[in-house]
Amino acid sequence: MADNKRDTGGLAVPTRRLGRLARFGGLGTSIAGNMLVEGAKTMARGERLDLEKLLYTKGNAEKVTDQLSKLRGAAMKLGQLMSMGGEDMLPPELAEILGKLREQAHHMPPSQLRRVLNDEWGRDWMKKLQKFDPRPIAAASIGQVHRAVTKDGRDLAIKIQYPGVRESIDSDIDNVVALIRMTGQLPKDTDMKPVFEEAKRQLHEEADYLREGRYMRRFKELLADTKHFIVPDFYEELTTKNVLAMSFERGQPIDDLQHADQETKNEVITHLFELVIRELFDFRLMQTDPNFANYRYRPEGKEIVLLDFGATREIDEELSQGYRRLVAADLTGDWTEIDRAARGINLYSGELPPKVEDALEDIFLAAVEPMNTDAPFDFANSDVTLRMREAGIRLRQEKFAHTPNPVALFLHRKIGGMYLLAGRLGAKVNVRAILREHGFH
């Protein structure tokens, strides 16, 4: 659940399908109109037309982010998903446009908020509480969070889903895909349908707050043996499919650790890498959303607060074992072994042209570099992410066509997010030593 980067004010969520569709139609028309105007100016200057440059103007970027942030729901969420997990499928400019959605979220006006709570808790819902703050403390793509206090004094965070979100998931994603397809920026020879179907499935699951509450409780049980993590308590008696009640857990934004001492940065990222390893190989259960706002930090107890379990995914034994073989191959640094293990979990398949294989090799060897350095790896001064992105651009230029394993795509999004956070904080971590403690040699 992302915190507000700026207060955008209350704005009612469009709940009717036709109203949402009209927003998409108007957005497409507006972008096309902007491209025509800018194209005419370019031709008048005697310059060559570049469709990508016309598409990725500041005006178009602002229109896309503004409209999707107003729609919220799956439209906004898919933009966030693709901006953090689709850099190898989308041009950097488009990923950047979509990435701006992580920084924008409107909240519902009080009248719409009251109607939602009346529907979910009944008109006398305030009798259940001692206090309810109508001002949200956070707002994101599918819901917003409020503070509340129960009659018996429990301090709660109440996540409230925007009305109409669940019903609009499929059509919203189809409309966003159509909008992106209109730009010609989806891989033409790659069947992306399984990826978008997986996105729909995940978003339907995220929109079920009872499901999220159960996974919150499960993670609390799984992490009961560690002092490093705090998971909120789940209050099922106040939870519905559209309202999630949990204990309010204080903590500072994890981004603030950019200004912490080096030892603290290293410890936090070490614990988060250990968590990813346990999720993938021990729990076979992963919270796949790496949004930095899902982590908070308590300096007095050196504790990491984990928030938002809507994107939790079960990982079957076969896939977990496949990743175990891939990590073991990664640690050899041998491309032949890595290639065989990657194919084993369907990250790609078939005969590869030499330039495609070279780009894939560069991506994998860059990604595993932190694992193959048996010393503290300096994430802040590493060019790993840049090299992976450059190799991804080469793959697109070669028109590499392969339908990615959709489940793996979301797992990679989480792992990539940990690399980004490590770089943001400037952590120096011996990843190989962590893997050795978990049975890898």
Residues with a known catalytic role: 289
Classified as helix, coil or strand, 246 is strand
Asked whether 312 and 280 are in contact (CB, 8 A), the reply is no
Beta bridge partners of 253: 296
Classified as helix, coil or strand, 158 is strand
CA 33 to chain CA centroid, nearest Å:
31
What is the b/e burial string over 267-286, where b = at least 16 CB atoms within 10 angstroms of the residue's CB? bbbbbbbbbbbbbbbebbbb
| ∠ Cα 229 234 238 (to 5°) | 155
Classified as helix, coil or strand, 264 is helix
Asked whether 175 and 22 are in contact (CB, 8 A), the reply is no
Asked whether 133 and 146 are in contact (CB, 8 A), the reply is yes
- What are the start-end ranges of the H helices in 315-383? 317-332, 335-344, 354-367
